[in-house]
Amino acid sequence: MAWIQPAENTHASLVEAMQRMDGVEFDLRLTADDQLVVHHDHIVSIPENMLEGRSRIVEDWDLSDLEEVGFCSFEKLMSDKEWLVPWQEHSKVACLEIKRSLPKVAKDPTKRMARVMELASVMVDEAGIHNQAAVFYAFHRPMAKVAKLSGSKRPWSRLLPIVPRTGSHNSKRFRAAPEFIAYSFARLLRSQKNSGAPMMPCAVDYFEGIKRYLHLGLPVGLKGKQLRRLTKIRNGFPVYVWPGHIELERDLLDAGLSLLTDNADSEMKLPCGSSRWLRPATMPLNEEQVAGLRKGIVPEDVAPWHEISDQQLGWDAVRMIGHRGCGKSPRPVIQSR
């Protein structure tokens, strides 16, 4: 039976991704009643007829109302053993993106973001999640202030270039372009290291097509001289690439880069002919098994990391991460009740 992708950022999607892959990335927002909901867009992603006269803005809704139409409570997610045990005991990781509210909700979103980090950190701490298994990040320059105000001791990183909060998808990219041009991969890495980040989220634009030549400084890539330059600059520092396009998946992993994928189908073949392996870190393969994978041979009876080692895998492990759970969905995310 063909795999069916669950809707993004839903409870089912997040749990399945945590089971299937090395970890999960998802988005957190603060509701009107000071709770955490997992939701990417500013606008409640449901059909117009389901709004029933209510505000379109997520932050104007109470959590219970968002749950009623199908969205995920972070607190309830954290009480689900199918989600929690892999995170606690199997070296899985979570990348928690703190979403900025629209200017009409908060002109400066920093305090609201700090509240998100505070509430989430309390639950993550209470669950005993390892310090190398959770990271907060956001498209927000003063992330250091967010972390300080939150009182959290959890690691954080920053998504660069900063994408504006308002505008269409294309206009946001256009307005973020000057910062992308100004930041070479090497400069981006220095910025993250200097901030104390444990890993670097990185747009795939730095590695693919003509876009990798558009910034100042020398380009990096996934083959030949540019790959050697990438490896030298990185010097083992963990880099998480988004989105991890299917056609680049094998090359990204071979380059020692973790990736955020929008496709959690383990049965599909990559364009290069290789079979997929969704748990390169938490169910590692030997060289012979990797060679077989490239020929389309899926290995059997592979022991998971937690059965062969007592060591917690760190950020430097090369991982496949589920983006918004099992991958982003067409809009609206919730099609019906």
Length of the chain: 337
State the average pLDDT for the chain. Answer: 97
Q: Mean pLDDT over residues 87-92, rounded?
A: 98
pLDDT of residue 169: 87
Nearest residue to 203 (alpha-carbon basis) of 247, 260, 151, 147: 260
pLDDT per position as a tens digit, 65-78:
999 999 999 999 99
Residues in Cβ contact with 176 at an 8 Å cutoff, skipping those fewer than 6 apart: 161, 162, 163, 164
Domain ranges of the chain: 11-323
pLDDT of residue 1: 77
Contact 326, 20 (CB under 8 A): yes
Q: How far apart are CA 75 and CA 68, in angstroms?
A: 15
Burial class of 288 by CB neighbour count within 10 A (0 to 12, 13 to 18, 19+): exposed
pLDDT per position as a tens digit, 253-267:
999 999 999 999 999
> Taking CA 132 as the corner, what is the angle to CA 124 and CA 293, rounded to the nearest 5 degrees?
115
pLDDT per position as a tens digit, 238-256:
999 999 999 999 999 999 9
CATH 3.20.20.190 fits 11-323, yes or no: yes
Residue with tokens 């117009």: 48
